[in-house]
Amino acid sequence: MEYKRIKDSYYIRIDKGENVTDCITDVCLREKIQSGYFQGIGACDQVELSTWIPEKNDFTNHYINGMLEMVSLTGNITTGTDNALFLHSHATFSYLNEQGDIILTGGHLKEARISYTGEIILNPADEKIGRMFDEDAGIEVWKLS
């Protein structure tokens, strides 16, 4: 991974074999970024996505291997209730099925390993955004006050 700050944004190149979320977290820790948002594109060969199942009040995980285009990655950085860095990201991937059709899949991104390159733009927030547990939703949500 290599990154560069230009004005208020960080441009991050993620290299083959590196994990997308690990690299974004690493830049945040090095640069002391506690809140912000990011977006990106790239190519991956191993992805773990999850989908929220309301009836179970839990996530189900999906694992995909092979040539995957990371069509879109978007996410935010906040500070969790445990005061640790909290990345929340969603991603869309495309791949060719056996018939040669382009298939799209996506969800909550847990991990994605880069196969060629990943290009991420990270924009820090001016203030720290925390999280709090929402009893009704059963998850941590932004704490804005």
Rounded to the nearest integer, the mean pLDDT of the chain is 96
pLDDT given for residue 129 in this prediction: 97
For the stretch 45-79, pLDDT in tens is 999 999 988 888 888 999 999 999 999 999 999 99
The upper half-sphere exposure of residue 28, i.e. CA atoms within 13 Å in the direction of its Cβ, equals 27
Residue 131 to residues 32, 56, 84: CA-CA distances in angstroms?
18, 22, 10
Sign of CA dihedral 36, 111, 79, 57: positive
pLDDT given for residue 137 in this prediction: 80
Question: Domains of the chain (ranges plus CATH)?
Answer: 2-143 (3.30.1330.80)
Map residue 98 onto helix, strand or coil.
Answer: coil
Map residue 140 onto helix, strand or coil.
Answer: strand
Residue spans of the chain under pLDDT 50: none
The pTM for the full model equals 0.94
pLDDT given for residue 138 in this prediction: 80
